[in-house]
């Protein structure tokens, strides 16, 4: 299996709220450590929703160097389509009339996927121009992300001639190449996200026909004590030091039991993911933090150095960092 970091284009997809941006940024940092020049693309989302404290944001349409060798850029479907139309309708006056007209929206609606195709086309251009060793795409939540990924193939089949066909075809040949591209999925190991993730993984492999990357299981609890240990050390027999101390002991055990419970739940769902997707699974630990910031993303990125080891040898996350 080609290492994730040796590809040129990585898509990060997954349900909302599972930590896609965190994983995408951590992957970018891990690649930078490997002396790669990396572009992290935010596909169709506003900055505010996915900011990481302490890391420079992308602004406007141009790439911004957040750290040496690490660039960020936003790509948006609507803007990408307008840019493309600028190229093929060079008369400014005409274009203005087009964009100002309400009928333009109707055209976009009647040519489904055109703006998605153009956004992916823009990403293709970034990969193709050779400015970056690796382009990582942080995608919007699942449903919308799959629309993007579906587009190049659909469009190359729907439109059999013309500009759009050519555009779709060259994008598809990049996306479907397992040496160049991989789609990675992020999830947390809880029931509902896991069910959705199994569907996504099967879609990527099946219907979409795209090369699979790694399935990242984020916020994983792996306690370094067991229920049996807690049982043996039961606190009830040891009351009577002082009231505050007794209460504290009780709270310590409650927290420990909660952690064991999370650990059991997460591990059960991790096994389910392994069994039902067949993807390579890499686990990222839950970080106990008052506030989540850039330093934490860096800590996670170090764990990702293992992410491209051969199947079955990926190290399991340890307990608390």
Site for another protein in 161-220 (CB under 8 A): 161-165, 190-193, 195-196, 199
Q: Closest distance between another protein and the C-beta of residue 223, in Å?
A: 7
318 binds another protein (CB under 8 A): no
Binding to another protein (CB under 8 A): which residues in 227-246?
A: 229, 233, 235, 238-239, 241-246
Interface with another protein (CB under 8 A), residue from 142, 156, 181, 280? 142
Q: Determine the size of the site formed for another protein (CB under 8 A).
A: 79
Closest to another protein by CB, 1 vs 95, is 95
Q: Closest distance between another protein and the C-beta of residue 127, in Å?
A: 23
Query: CA 217 to CA 196: how far, in whole Å?
Result: 13
Q: How many CA atoms lie within 13 A of 121 on its CB side?
A: 27
295 binds another protein (CB under 8 A): no
Closest to another protein by CB, 168 vs 282, is 168
Query: CA 290 to CA 33: how far, in whole Å?
Result: 27
If you search the block for the tokens 């506030």, which residue do you land on?
291
Query: CA 190 to CA 262: how far, in whole Å?
Result: 9
* Contact region with another protein (CB under 8 A), list: 27-35, 46-54, 55-63, 208-216: 46-54
267 binds another protein (CB under 8 A): no
The distance in angstroms from the start CA to the end CA of the chain is 29
Query: CA 82 to CA 70: how far, in whole Å?
Result: 27
Closest to another protein by CB, 69 vs 113, is 113
Binding to another protein (CB under 8 A): which residues in 52-81?
A: none
Q: Closest distance between another protein and the C-beta of residue 283, in Å?
A: 17
Closest to another protein by CB, 1 vs 265, is 265
CA angle (201, 205, 209) in 5-degree steps: 140
Task: Say how many C-beta atoms besides its own lie within 10 A of residue 274's C-beta.
Answer: 14
Q: Are 96 and 63 in contact (CB under 8 A)?
A: no
Binding to another protein (CB under 8 A): which residues in 2-41?
A: 15-18
Closest to another protein by CB, 237 vs 310, is 237
Query: CA 8 to CA 133: how far, in whole Å?
Result: 6
Q: What is the CA radius of gyration of the chain?
A: 23
């Amino acid at each position: 299996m080609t290492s994730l970091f040796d590809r040129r284009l990585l898509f990060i997809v997954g349900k909302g709220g599972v930590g896609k941006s965190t994983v995408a940024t951590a992957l970018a940092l891990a690649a930078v450590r490997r002396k790669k020049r990396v572009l992290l693309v935010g596909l169709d989302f506003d900055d505010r929703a996915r900011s990481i404290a302490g890391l420079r944001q992308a602004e406007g349409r141009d790439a911004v160097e957040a750290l040496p060798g690490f660039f960020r850029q936003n790509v948006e479907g609507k803007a990408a389509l307008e840019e493309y139309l600028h190229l093929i309708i060079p008369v400014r006056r005409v274009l203005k009339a087009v964009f100002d007209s309400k009928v333009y929206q109707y055209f976009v609606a009647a040519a489904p996927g055109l703006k998605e195709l153009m956004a992916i086309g823009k990403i293709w251009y970034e990969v193709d121009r050779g400015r970056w060793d690796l382009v990582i795409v942080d995608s919007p939540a699942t449903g919308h992300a799959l629309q993007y990924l579906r587009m190049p193939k659909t469009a190359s089949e729907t439109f059999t001639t013309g500009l759009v066909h050519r555009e779709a075809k060259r994008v598809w040949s990049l996306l479907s190449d397992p040496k160049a591209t991989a789609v990675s999925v992020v999830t947390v190991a809880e029931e509902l996200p896991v069910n959705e993730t199994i569907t996504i993984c099967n879609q990527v492999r099946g219907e979409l026909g795209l090369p699979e990357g790694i399935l990242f299981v984020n916020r994983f609890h792996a306690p370094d004590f067991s229920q049996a240990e807690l049982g043996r050390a039961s606190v009830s027999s040891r009351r009577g030091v002082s009231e505050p101390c007794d209460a504290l002991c009780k709270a310590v055990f409650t927290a420990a039991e909660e952690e064991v419970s999370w650990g059991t739940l997460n591990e059960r769902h991790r096994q389910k993911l392994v069994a039902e997707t067949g993807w390579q699974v890499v686990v990222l630990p839950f970080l106990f933090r008052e506030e989540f910031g850039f330093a934490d993303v860096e800590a996670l990125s170090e764990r990702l150095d293992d992410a491209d080891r051969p199947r079955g040898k990926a190290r399991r996350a340890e307990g608390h960092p």
